[in-house]
Structure formats: structure tokens, C-alpha cells
Amino acid sequence: MKDTITLGILGGGQLGRMSAMAAARLGIATVIFCPEEDSPASHVAIGTMVAAYNDEEALKAFADKCNFITYEFENIPVETIEYLESLKAAPIYPEKALLLVSQDRIKEKSFINDLAIKTTRWKEISNIDDIKAAVNDWNASSFILKTTRFGYDGKGQIKCNALDLDSNSELSAFLEKVNGQGLIMEEPVDFTCEVSVIIARDVHGNSQTYGPMLNEHKNHILHKTTVPCGIDQGLNDRAIEIAKTIADEVNLIGVLTVEFFVCKDGSVLVNEIAPRTHNSGHWSIDACAVSQFENHVRTVCGLPVGSSTRHSDAVMLNLIGDDINNIDQYLTDPYTCVHLYGKKEARNARKMGHITFLETKGTSK
């Protein structure tokens, strides 16, 4: 028998936790590396190293335990990946190049546009004069300003009216707060809905996709995902084709998520990409033979990608903050799957778990 494979995961959140659980099902052991004590992923892994991402001694000890290394979120410092690569202890997927692109909205949009894939109109911003020039150029009545890095769940962005820019106190306060950080200005998209596609691609270049999924947000945080998403077949196919184009272009090994705006004029625009599993794919644990998490583990460990075929339609609801206090109603329903992440404090806006409602195609036992 082969020795047990050990997969190292950088990051200890719920995505790492669900990948570790999928790994366990395949007989693959996981070791977590993260700076936080008592992280959700640590509860289900065989080992955890709690250390800073720049702690080289700890990183070396971690790498020595692993046959393969991956990460569960895209804001892992690139220097951490570079240091681990220099040790040549274990292959690290997805590749650093994708991480670099997804960490910076300017690089990300340039990369996507270079593939002849459309995004909203955008411009790099250094100061208020750049904003005024773009407002003029675009004849804009409003715009969205975002920090180029470290934005998530609506953090680090502001939507502004383009009138009276000099006396806009919200804009001045935002610019003061993000002083020194790179900024991107985007044209607001008049979308009918937001969808995402998740693609898993293995070392042989074979890939499987999940979705498109329909994503609805509350306070900038994903609230509900529905699959199938109900958009027309042409747009559906186009979204999948775009995800495949991006994955093939970077020779993806691992999982990649592409978020889209579906526009009133019948086009799709890419909003952003992430080289990881995604909240909009959590339903796949319960509605597919091979979930996004299992395919994450399979592909980064050199195993063949598994079928993403959906046996049930599904709706996923996030449990945010105090929502976790209302789970009793879900625990007795036969087609409702409850997932909790083991986080102790139900802080405001914290993702505590999720529920998947299955619309089963067959109900016999």
C-alpha cells in the first residue's frame, strides 16, 4: 500500500476546513498552516502549525510534512509561496502566477481583457484629478472606487455620485482612509443578476465545471446561491467557456472561481476571479458526487478531476452572525443539509455556516 498522502493547506478558514474534510474521505491527511489559534480548519486536520506567514522556520517544518501544498484564500503573501517554492519540498498549486493576478484588481482586469474577455470599464487612479478625468471621459453620473488589493465582501470600496466631487465628504473620507493604497475606478454595471462558475482542472488538463450559479448578496456578503441559475443557454455556455479559457490560459492545476455580471443587454462581464474554492460552490458537497472541495484536493494532489455532475438542484443559504441561532428549523427536514464551521463567536457579518436545500430528482430510498 502507498504511504498516506499529506496535503498542506495555507489558511485555516471554512474553505480549508471543507477541503480537509473532503481530503479525509479520500484517505489524504491535511496539515493546516495559519496564524490563528483554534481555526475552523484545525478542528478537522491531523495537524496544525500556528505561526505567521513570514515565519520561515515554521514554514520549513510545515513543508517537510507535506507531499503537496495549496492555499485556501488568495491573500496569502506571495513571499510565503516563494519561500516554500525555494525549499522544493512539495509542489504548490494553484500556481503563483494566478495568485499574483487575483491579488490585484488592476493586474486581474488587464489579464482578463488581454484574453479578449470583457469586464466593466475601469481605470487606475492615483488622485482626485484622475477621477475627474475619468468622469469626464466616461460621461459618468456615478462610479465605484475600489482599493486594488485586499478587498472582499464589499470592503475597501465606495459607490459615488459623480456630481460635485470636490464637496463629496464620503469620497474625501474614503480617500483619506485608503491613503497610499492603489485604487481602481469602475463603471457601475447595470446588471440583471450576478453568477459564478467554478472550474477544477487537473495535471492532465482535464477540467470539470460547476454552475453557473445565481448569487444574491445582502450587505455585500453572499446570502443565497441557486443552481441552476435560470439564465438563458447562450449566456450559460458563454460563462462556462470564459472560465475554461482562463483556466487553460494559466494551465490551472486546482480550482478557480470566476464571478460575472449578467447585463441587461444580454452580455456577461467578468467581475473577478479567485484561484480557490468559493462560497457559491458549497452546495456541491450535497448535490454532486464530487464536490468543489474534493476536486480541489484531487487536482492539487495530482489525482484526476472528478465528475461535477449535479444529481439535485440546490439552494444554498449562508448563516451569517446570529443566523446560527435559528438552525433548529433546518435540522429535521429530510432534504436540508446543515453545515457549521465550529466558530465560537457569532460576530456580526461572520460566516458561521451554511444550509443546502436539495431539490431531489428522485425521492425513493
- What are the residues binding ligand AMP (CB under 6 A)? 120, 144, 151, 154, 186, 188-189, 194, 217, 220, 271-272
**Quick check: 185 and 131 in contact, CB under 8 A?**
yes
Long-range contacts, 239-244 (Cβ 8 Å, 24+): 239/195, 239/197, 239/211, 239/212, 239/268, 240/197, 240/209, 240/211, 240/212, 242/117, 242/197, 242/268, 242/270, 243/197, 243/198, 243/199, 243/209, 244/199, 244/207, 244/209
Complex with ligand AMP: residue 80 or 271, whichever CB lies closer: 271
Alpha-carbon distance of 153 to 155, in angstroms, equals 6
Complex with ligand AMP: residue 47 or 151, whichever CB lies closer: 151
Ramachandran angles phi, psi of 151, nearest 5°: -95, 135
**Please, what is the minimum distance in Å from the beta carbon of residue 120 to ligand AMP?**
4
**Please, what is the minimum distance in Å from the beta carbon of residue 293 to ligand AMP?**
22
**Please, what is the minimum distance in Å from the beta carbon of residue 151 to ligand AMP?**
5
**Please, what is the minimum distance in Å from the beta carbon of residue 156 to ligand AMP?**
8
Q: Which three cell numbers stand for residue 66?
A: 507535506
**Quick check: 360 and 345 in contact, CB under 8 A?**
no
**Please, what is the minimum distance in Å from the beta carbon of residue 162 to ligand AMP?**
14
Neighbours of 186 (CB within 10 A): 20
Complex with ligand AMP: residue 69 or 76, whichever CB lies closer: 76
**Please, what is the minimum distance in Å from the beta carbon of residue 184 to ligand AMP?**
9
**Please, what is the minimum distance in Å from the beta carbon of residue 7 to ligand AMP?**
28
Complex with ligand AMP: residue 194 or 286, whichever CB lies closer: 194
Complex with ligand AMP: residue 50 or 144, whichever CB lies closer: 144
Complex with ligand AMP: residue 194 or 202, whichever CB lies closer: 194
Complex with ligand AMP: residue 35 or 154, whichever CB lies closer: 154
Complex with ligand AMP: residue 31 or 178, whichever CB lies closer: 178
Count Cβ atoms within 10 A of the Cβ of residue 140 and give its class: 0-12 exposed, 13-18 middle, 19 or more buried. Answer: middle
Complex with ligand AMP: residue 93 or 143, whichever CB lies closer: 143
**Quick check: 202 and 303 in contact, CB under 8 A?**
yes
Q: Name, in order, each residue with C-beta under 8 angstroms of 155's C-beta and a sequence gap of 6 or more.
A: 220
Complex with ligand AMP: residue 60 or 217, whichever CB lies closer: 217
**Quick check: 305 and 299 in contact, CB under 8 A?**
yes
**Please, what is the minimum distance in Å from the beta carbon of residue 147 to ligand AMP?**
10
Closest residue to ligand AMP in the complex (CB): 189
**Please, what is the minimum distance in Å from the beta carbon of residue 187 to ligand AMP?**
6
The CA-based angle 31-196-349, given to 5 degrees, is 65
Q: Name, in order, each residue with C-beta under 8 angstroms of 126's C-beta and a sequence gap of 6 or more.
A: 183
**Please, what is the minimum distance in Å from the beta carbon of residue 4 to ligand AMP?**
38
